[in-house]
Amino acid sequence: MTGIIDYNAGNIRSVELALRALGAEYRISKKPADLEDADRLIFPGVGEAKFAMAELRSSGIDSFLRDWAASGRPLLGVCLGSQIIFDHSEESDTPCLGILPGVVRRFPADFPALGRKVPHIGWNDLAWRNGGSRLFEGVPEGADVYFVHSYYVEPADPSAVTATVDYGFPVPAAVRKGNVEAFQFHPEKSGEHGLRMLANFAGVPFRPRGEGGAPC
């Protein structure tokens, strides 16, 4: 069973619909006790880092996430959830969960002058790095996935980066360290490629739409 963490800062509905379409068993909760028996966790998120961390602390989910990651069970961060698993965010100078070493940086202030918009919104092509990830099984390199973000992760260990996209420089799009993985993009909004990644994480078979599979 896949647990989905609800902490008032998550893109919960879209993740729920994606797992339902895949036929994956899941449970959504704001209470750590409800998720203790899950086999894996998805930690989604949209919004601002400081608010999200305050919500996590007030509910005790911050400690729950740290303990979960330390236990060796699979954890997948998505969008904001991929950022605040690191040590610190430049957004409102926010101390984060510290599950993975590294920082979260804002895109450069001169990006508009260079023809790049902030936030980075839209589709971009993935390039595998450092051997990629098992979650990419069945997904071709160069697959388009959907982004909405003004900040990006900078892991202390560059070998943790499993995919990048070109947005003025190679922006980390996915990271992996042991049992912890994270996607800056939204797999639940990234069509069949994103659904296949979620199926790989949830441990369920994926069937393309032409074969009676999940809608995108």
Q: Does the domain spanning 2-211 belong to CATH 1.10.1740.10?
A: no
**88 flagged as catalytic:** no
Confidence of residue 209 (pLDDT cuts 50, 70, 90): low
pLDDT band at 102 (very low <50, low <70, confident <90, very high): very high
Contacts of 210 (CB under 8 A, 6+ apart): none
Quote the pLDDT of residue 17.
Answer: 94
79, 91, 149, 181: the active-site residue? 79
pLDDT digits (tens, 9 = 90+) for 7-27: 988 678 999 999 999 999 999
Q: Which of 120, 149, 186, 193 is catalytic?
A: 186
Task: Please choose, from the candidates 95, 94, 120, 123, the residue with its C-alpha nearest in 3D space to the C-alpha of residue 107.
Answer: 120
Percent residues over pLDDT 90 in the chain: 90
Take residue 34 and report the two structure tokens written for it.
């409800």
* 79 classed as catalytic: yes
Rounded to an integer, the average pLDDT of 95-121 is 94
Encode burial over 176-200: b for 16+ CB neighbours within 10 A, e otherwise.
bbeebbbbbbbbbbbbbbbbbbbbb
Q: Which of 102, 95, 42, 30 is nearest to 68 (CA)?
A: 42
At residue 211 the predicted structure's pLDDT band, cuts being 50, 70 and 90, is very low
Q: Please give the Cα distance from 199 to 182 (Å, whole number).
A: 15
* Predicted TM-score (pTM) of this structure: 0.95
Give the C-alpha separation, 62 to 159, whole Å: 26
pLDDT value, residue 214: 42
Q: Which of 91, 181, 188, 192 is catalytic?
A: 188
Domain ranges in the chain are: 2-211
